Amino acid sequence: MKTVLWTENIAWEATVRHAEQEDVLVMRDGHVVALLMPFDDDDLDWYARERDPEFLASLSRARRQVQEGRTITHADLKRSLQ
């Protein structure tokens, strides 16, 4: 991981190009303000999914079902799909 200081003269193009290869921590006034990291189309799909309100709601429902014991065994699932 590379660390860069955010100044008036920071070379953003070079910094972003460097982030295509490894994580770059951006600091300003002694505090972390950003983390730039390699990111591709697959990452974008996951990023969008992880913030989708419908997906998050479905996870919440599934967690409640598990807590309430409303689950079936793998063997029962296989039988029901045959």
Tokens at 38, concatenated? 């390699």
pLDDT on residue 17: 94
Sequence-ordered list of residues with C-beta below 8 angstroms from that of 49, at least 6 positions apart, any chain: 55
Distance of CA 34 to the CA centre of its chain: 14
Q: What is the pLDDT of residue 31?
A: 97
pLDDT of residue 43: 92
Query: What residues contact 77, with CB distance under 8 A and at least 6 apart?
Result: none
pTM beyond 0.85: no
**Tens-digit pLDDT string for the chain (82 aa):** 999 999 999 999 999 999 999 999 999 999 999 999 999 999 999 999 999 999 999 999 999 999 999 999 999 999 999 9
